[in-house]
């Protein structure tokens, strides 16, 4: 499915894929929980950036890895939107096939850069 595709289910989960959102109706006798998943873009692998290699490991919409030597925290995908934190800086951007356009604010200055997928990245 294309990144950004929405999947909605009533009460039943999709294996070990955690939903992006859950809503429960109260009072309710049965079939009370709505689950929403948003298909994430594929980003697992290594990307070349001006800040060093961006190595990403992906499990559904959760992303971890490193930017250069620094660990990534709070990495998330919502369709083609990606966000993660490295140190004190939070990056946000869009995945576009073999590139990720990223923006952040560093020391009060807006920073933008593009990460390019290395040829070994499977799309």
CA distances (Å), origin 99, targets 38, 52, 54, 96: 20, 15, 12, 5
* 73-118 residue pLDDT tens: 999 999 999 999 999 999 999 999 899 999 998 888 999 999 999 9
Choose among 73, 44, 91: nearest CA to 55.
Answer: 44
Per-residue pLDDT tens over the stretch 9-54: 998 999 999 999 999 989 988 889 999 999 999 999 999 999 999 9
**Residue found by looking up tokens 């001006």 in the block:** 50
Report the C-alpha gap between 28 and 50 in whole angstroms.
53
118: three-class secondary structure by DSSP: coil
Mean pLDDT of the chain: 94
- Calculate the alpha carbon distances from 98 to 25, 31, 45, 67 in Å: 41, 41, 11, 17
CB neighbour list of residue 14: distance below 8 Å, 6 or more residues apart: 7, 35, 37
In this predicted model, what pLDDT tens digit does every residue of 84-93 receive, in sequence order? Answer: 999 999 999 9
Contact in structure between 5 and 38 (CB atoms under 8 Å): yes
């Amino acid at each position: 499915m294309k990144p950004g595709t929405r999947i909605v289910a009533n009460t039943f989960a999709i294996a070990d894929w955690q939903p992006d959102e859950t809503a429960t109706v109260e009072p309710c006798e049965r079939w009370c929980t709505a689950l929403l998943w948003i298909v994430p873009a594929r980003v697992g692998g290594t990307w070349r950036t001006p800040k060093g290699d961006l190595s990403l490991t992906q499990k559904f919409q959760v992303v971890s890895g490193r930017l250069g030597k620094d660990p990534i925290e709070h990495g998330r995908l919502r369709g083609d939107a990606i966000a993660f934190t490295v140190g004190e800086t939070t990056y946000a951007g869009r995945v576009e096939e073999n590139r990720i356009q990223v923006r952040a604010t560093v020391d009060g200055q807006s920073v933008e850069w593009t990460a390019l997928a290395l040829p070994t990245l499977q799309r």
